[in-house]
Structure 1
């Protein structure tokens, strides 16, 4: 049984597993937390070795690093060491290729999706990517040969192809590295929003980087299926007049239901969803969705937060009118711009910072 599981896991990690082996591997991983953690460590160790640009790889040293935070049974040590050794030997050939190619100029393929549009593409490895409005996505023209890395500026949903599990899939966004561990997930990182988000539909991912923008310490967190991670990238903990409190801590991980994720990813079907979203971020979303320019005359209004879902038939004025019902604003259309004003001065109720 030990050799059987060992072979299945190696095939699964290296992308050579049959459908039945994939099912058995996922079943084994889901049996308990210890087996899940052992698989993640082995998977990441394999990918880290693939990413190294060295010809000399010390298998014993790499294996020791792999097991240093684990305390599995003696039986587990046997097959884990065997698996690590086999995978690391395979990585030598790839490391040599990377070394030979390191002086070659990297050419990137860049795709820009304009405001008011969404686009679906298939990457060379078969990964399906649905890209939201106002987003830029870049990847190496040799994508899939020695690495699978993309640079994201905006929002996209990734359904990762399993055909090349032996090559790590990494997304660079807002200073973070999102590493796939056999998943379907969304990454949202618009610079103008000041928020980094990722929601996992299937599988698991890791997020690496400065998880707290208030200090320089780097870290890593794992996000499971039906979880949403949010990191406030703004350097200040601003006052929220909607709740009369300061904003939450920079990082949060929330368990959500599949139905929530369907709405969260509703932009793929022209749905608008806001969950305790600042007015400023809502304005940014409306500008991208409807390709309009909205001027917020009083920046203080941007600190209000709202929750709501709008059907595909809604337009920019539908959203603003709903917000107007509970917020002291007025808006006018002037020279193709929407001007939003604060009417608080009429009622002497201006929120204090």
Structure 2
């Protein structure tokens, strides 16, 4: 297709005289060129859709002759600014048939290693906060019908509302479907439960299409990964979501469950010399605290416990506890 041929197709679109074949050719050209130059033309899919709708609506308005001249200039600028390499690819007589070409989906992965946390934006503007030892996979560009990501670990989501594009988070054990809301998913592979906590809005959670439950704010769905059964409970959001504000909270928590949290949070290994001390329970709230500070607090309260660093990332807790 030459530049003149493209202009002719645009004129025919204005006049509503495109054949189905010509319309398909024009749409195919737009898609291929913009897929290869999207970063330089549109901010995102929503922006692209709005601009496209606006342009074609104006083309069909009463000021058609004036708009026609403007559109011809826009078309010419678009053709000139598209990279020569992309244009050469499309215009080349040796290119593969467009019927055999499928747009390549580029998958991205963001990871927060143990001891670190990350906050970033998804392509639609939604915000994700990843907890330590977590990763998320998502397409570079969401398609027009759905926004889907895959999570391993724990993350808090603030989803940009778009009723035409449901947002789905998949883990190895369940999926969560939303339109626009904020929620937390805890889905570490080494833990027995997958937990979904809703902060605002409304979401559905399930393991298949016929097994979905609805959550309201300040409620939690807990999936037992062994028996595939859900339980629901009301929770204190401040306590449950304190991790995203750099706060570690232990409410009469046993060392058996507190130690895995500390290991993920600080990227360390903690060994109990006396296995019976796993039942020791303690309470504490630690905001942006160091591991040493937390261990000092635990052993201050539980005076029969002691700790020592074997290496910089390996700790041993010895002693016993009578609670």
* TM-score with structure 2 setting the length: 0.59
Q: Shift of residue 255 of structure 1?
A: 1.6
Structure 1: 5+ residue stretches without partners? 1-99, 211-217, 236-248
Q: Tell me whether 1:219 sits opposite 2:194 in the alignment.
A: no
Instruction: State the distance in 2 between where 1:327 and 1:104 align.
Output: 63
Q: Evaluate the alpha carbon distance shift between residue 102 and residue 308 of structure 1 in structure 2; reply closer, same or farther with a 3 A threshold.
A: farther
* Post-superposition CA distance 1:38-75 (Å, at most 9, x none): xxxxxxxxxxxxxxxxxxxxxxxxxxxxxxxxxxxxxx
Secondary structure in 2 matching 1:334: strand
Instruction: State the distance in 1 between where 2:205 and 2:188 align.
Output: 17
Alignment partner, residue 114 of structure 1: 113
Contact 1:193 1:281 (C-alpha < 8 Å) held by counterparts? no
How do 1:230-309 residues align onto structure 2 when only pairs under 5 Å count?
230-233=222-225, 251-256=230-235, 260-275=236-251, 277=253, 279-297=255-273, 301-302=277-278, 304=279, 306=281, 308-309=283-284
Secondary structure in 2 matching 1:191: coil
Number of residue equivalences: 223
Q: Shift of residue 114 of structure 1?
A: 1.9
* TM-score with structure 1 setting the length: 0.54
Alignment partner, residue 60 of structure 2: none
Greater Rg, structure 1 or structure 2? 2
Instruction: State the distance in 1 between where 2:251 and 2:220 align.
Output: 12
Instruction: State the distance in 2 between where 1:316 and 1:328 align.
Output: 19
Instruction: State the distance in 1 between where 2:102 and 2:132 align.
Output: 35
Q: Tell me whether 1:315 sits opposite 2:290 in the alignment.
A: yes
Contact 2:145 2:166 (C-alpha < 8 Å) held by counterparts? no
Q: Tell me whether 1:176 sits opposite 2:174 in the alignment.
A: yes
* Post-superposition CA distance 1:259-279 (Å, at most 9, x none): x31232222221112356553
Q: Shift of residue 129 of structure 1?
A: 1.0
The correspondence for 2:311, drawn from 335, 338, 341, is: 335
Alignment partner, residue 128 of structure 2: 129
Q: Shift of residue 332 of structure 1?
A: 1.8
Contact 1:301 1:342 (C-alpha < 8 Å) held by counterparts? yes
Q: Evaluate the alpha carbon distance shift between residue 252 and residue 330 of structure 1 in structure 2; reply closer, same or farther with a 3 A threshold.
A: farther
Q: Shift of residue 154 of structure 1?
A: 1.1
Alignment partner, residue 66 of structure 2: none
* Post-superposition CA distance 1:141-162 (Å, at most 9, x none): 2324342111111111111101
Instruction: State the distance in 2 between where 1:144 and 1:299 align.
Output: 51
Name the Cα RMSD after superposition. Answer: 3.4
Q: Evaluate the alpha carbon distance shift between residue 144 and residue 158 of structure 1 in structure 2; reply closer, same or farther with a 3 A threshold.
A: farther
How do 1:49-60 residues align onto structure 2 when only pairs under 5 Å count?
none
Contact 1:193 1:284 (C-alpha < 8 Å) held by counterparts? no
Secondary structure in 1 matching 2:114: coil
Contact 1:271 1:309 (C-alpha < 8 Å) held by counterparts? no
Contact 1:274 1:306 (C-alpha < 8 Å) held by counterparts? no
Instruction: State the distance in 1 between where 2:282 and 2:101 align.
Output: 48
Instruction: State the distance in 2 between where 1:169 and 1:101 align.
Output: 30
Alignment partner, residue 159 of structure 1: 158
The correspondence for 2:188, drawn from 190, 206, 209, is: 190
* Post-superposition CA distance 1:80-123 (Å, at most 9, x none): xxxxxxxxxxxxxxxxxxxx999766432001112222211111
Instruction: State the distance in 1 between where 2:126 and 2:280 align.
Output: 35
Instruction: State the distance in 2 between where 1:310 and 1:101 align.
Output: 59
Alignment partner, residue 202 of structure 1: 200
Instruction: State the distance in 1 between where 2:202 and 2:101 align.
Output: 30
